[in-house]
């Protein structure tokens, strides 16, 4: 029996941070053992908001894929490639855009939200409005059954399902209706307590050196109500404790929680212990990353092979689409 197909992607933003690793990437590493996975660098999506700043896209692609492989994605178990290297995406996107009602795109909640958030940029463009169709294309061209998303992205999957239903109704049943794959993953806060993000400059890169990791941990916000070392602490509001729950053993986390609540461990010691754990955890990832940086042809080969495999699947889907639409 064939495996279900999973498709997911990221915009090429360059080197990723630890929040990305503990969120999407750790999840992807698990999924590659259970599904037929297509993990895509969606560089055309980057143009929807960064069309004026294209000079860094190539290098950002390379650095991001190095992070993917270093964290554990295995090109022997999944397809890793760049969206623009599979031109079939462009053709299917054009065809699906012809049948997608404008009102479907205008009602998309993320469209309205981003217009407000990015009001200083000139993004009131055809490409930005239509990016959910491009996203649907990325999913449907591989006939993905499952799409790993967070709750905030489920509207995109539902729109993809509507586009698939509309195509199947107008022509012939070609596309499955993909389902959102809700998976549990750890959400790490930034060092200031807000969501970890490059926009907030509160992140720790996957590639950060041991010295940088230790410095960043020193800057982490702790329990604001705790003034002295022997004051009872409140771990649930402490950034450092949040990181311990990810990088420490469960039994040690419980011990640390109790010691903090009793004022038996200070924030300085707690941060030092965390930094040691993080450095040890990241060391093998850094070693693999260093090897990949020193051997750029490995990444080239992975992306070329992934794109070649993806083109075969994508072209087969397009042949079915053209046949259903009675087109040459």
Residue 94 annotated as part of some ligand binding site: no
Please work out, in degrees rounded to the nearest 5, the angle formed at the alpha carbon of residue 311 by the alpha carbons of 310 and 313.
Answer: 65
CA distances from 162 to 8, 167, 322 (A): 19, 9, 20
Residue 308 annotated as part of some ligand binding site: no
The first and second tokens of residue 53, run together, are 């700043």
Cα 11 to chain centroid distance, Å, stands at 8
Long-range Cβ contacts of 264-273 (<8 Å, 24+ apart) = 264/230, 266/229, 267/222, 267/223, 267/226, 267/229, 267/233, 267/240, 270/222, 270/240, 270/241, 270/244, 271/217, 271/218, 271/220, 271/222, 271/240, 273/244, 273/248
Other Cβ atoms within 10 Å of 225 Cβ, number:
10
Residue 150 annotated as part of some ligand binding site: yes
Residue 3 annotated as part of some ligand binding site: no
Residue 189 annotated as part of some ligand binding site: no
CA distance 278 to 91: 45
CA distance 300 to 28: 21
The first and second tokens of residue 328, run together, are 């040459």
Residue 197 annotated as part of some ligand binding site: yes
Residue 326 annotated as part of some ligand binding site: no
Residue 1 annotated as part of some ligand binding site: no
Residue 152 annotated as part of some ligand binding site: yes
User: Residue 10's beta-bridge partner residues?
Assistant: 41
Residue 196 annotated as part of some ligand binding site: yes
Residue 199 annotated as part of some ligand binding site: yes
Residue 11 annotated as part of some ligand binding site: yes
Residue 138 annotated as part of some ligand binding site: yes
Residue 84 annotated as part of some ligand binding site: no
Q: DSSP state, 17?
A: B
8 A C-beta contact, residue 178 and residue 191: no
The residue written with tokens 């993809």 in the block is 160
Binding positions are 11-13, 19-20, 138, 150-152, 188, 195-199
Binding positions for L-tryptophan are 138
Binding positions for ATP are 11-13, 19-20, 150-152, 188, 195-199
């Amino acid at each position: 029996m064939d495996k279900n197909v999973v498709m997911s992607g990221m915009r090429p933003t360059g080197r990723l941070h630890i929040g990305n690793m503990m969120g999407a990437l750790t999840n992807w590493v698990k999924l590659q053992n259970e599904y037929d996975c297509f993990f895509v660098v969606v560089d055309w999506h980057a143009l929807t908001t960064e069309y004026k700043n294209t000079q860094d896209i190539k290098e950002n692609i390379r650095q991001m894929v190095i992070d993917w492989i270093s964290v554990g994605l295995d090109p022997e178990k999944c397809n890793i490639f760049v969206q623009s290297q599979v031109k079939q995406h462009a053709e299917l996107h054009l065809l699906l855009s012809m049948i997608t009602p404008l009102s479907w795109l205008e009602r998309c909640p993320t469209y309205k939200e981003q217009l407000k958030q990015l009001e200083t940029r000139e993004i009131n463009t055809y490409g930005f409005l239509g990016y959910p169709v491009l996203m649907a294309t990325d999913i449907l061209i591989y006939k993905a059954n499952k799409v790993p998303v967070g709750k905030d992205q489920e509207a995109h999957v539902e729109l993809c399902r509507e586009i698939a239903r509309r195509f199947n109704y107008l022509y012939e049943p070609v596309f499955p209706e993909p389902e959102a794959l809700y998976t549990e993953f750890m959400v790490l806060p930034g060092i200031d307590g807000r969501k970890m993000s490059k926009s907030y400059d509160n992140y720790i890169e996957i590639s950060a050196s041991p010295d940088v990791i230790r410095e960043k941990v020193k800057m982490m916000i702790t329990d604001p109500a705790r003034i002295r070392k022997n004051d009872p602490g409140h771990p649930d509001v402490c950034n450092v404790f949040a990181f311990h729950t990810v990088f420490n053993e469960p039994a040690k986390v419980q011990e640390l929680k109790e010691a903090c609540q009793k004022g038996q461990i200070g924030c300085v010691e707690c941060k030092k212990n965390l930094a040691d754990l993080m450095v040890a955890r990241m060391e093998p990832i850094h070693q693999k990353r260093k090897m990949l940086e020193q051997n750029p042809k490995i990444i080239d080969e992975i992306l070329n092979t992934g794109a070649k495999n993806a083109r075969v699947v994508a072209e087969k889907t397009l042949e079915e689409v053209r046949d259903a639409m009675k087109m040459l």
